[in-house]
Amino acid sequence: MAWGDPLRSLHADHLVVHVYRHRADMGEAAACCAAECLRAAVARGGGARAVFASAPSQVEFLHALAAAPAVDWSRITAFHLDEYLGVPSRAPQAFGQFLRKHLFDQVRPSNAWFLDGTPGDVSAEMERYAQLLREAPLDLACVGIGENGHLAFNEPGDTDFDDAALLRVVTLDERSRLQQVRDACFAALADVPVRAITLTVPAITAAGAVVCVVPGPTKREALRRAIRGPVAPECPASVLRRHADAVVFADLEAAALL
């Protein structure tokens, strides 16, 4: 099924890719898809559980989702994919704070569970969050693709598609850190944290549905590798091609190499 009016659509294994002329169209279409997933989960089981990415690439999508009609957010439990270590939870660079600003403060989900980037015990913090995730399956994962092909902060060459854990501590690839500078999240590379907590690939792909939003020219090569290259940890986002219900929403600039 296509949402909105894509310029073209294609398949890569199980993965569906829709390409839109403008970022706004892409975001609106992705929001329609995500809203349908949430409404269906609420109708089916009385509630929904969803995890969200935090990045400037997601802004159009998040704003459109906040405005989507007939989504009963009082029945939705929300999580986020990753968090820097060493960044206070209310700092503007914190991923949880990003989601508060662009989605949660507008829609007021029943519960919004945040990773603590400054825990006294990192292992205990991951176990706390893992316990929350284990309470019930995720209905929806809303993700992006990094400029280096990362999925959440599962980095190229440092990702296990069969990881038994739900969360892990990662050392950020320099390309991921440079992306944060280019996105104006930090003033300089030296300001970007080196470590983060991330949901693992199996934790993300266990969601019933995946909506992946990929705009902009800086994502061209990563999207090409994810769609046209091998499914391998060298491009973590390529794992989405194995998911039975995953859809990529890209704008024309991001999809130029497809």
Whether residue 155 lies in the annotated active site: yes
Quick count: other Cβ atoms within 10 Å of Cβ 229? 16
Catalytic position from the list 116, 150, 243, 253: 150
- State the distance between the two ends of the chain, measured CA to CA, in whole angstroms: 20
Q: Say which of 28, 139, 155, 253 is annotated catalytic.
A: 155
Q: Which residues, listed in sequence order, are joined to residue 140 by a DSSP beta bridge? A: 50, 209
Whether 111 is a known active-site residue: answer no
Pair 85, 193: CB distance under 8 Å: yes
Residue 11 bears catalytic tag: no
Annotated catalytic residue, options 82, 83, 116, 251: 82
The number of residues in the chain equals: 258
Q: What is the CA radius of gyration of the chain?
A: 17
Annotated active-site residue 154? The verdict is no
Q: Classify each residue of 172-207 as buried b or exposed e, where b means 16 or more C-beta atoms within 10 Å of its C-beta.
A: bbeebbbbbeeeebbeeeeebbeebbbbbbebbbeb
Catalytic residue among 80, 83, 148, 173: 148
Active site residues: 82, 148, 150, 155
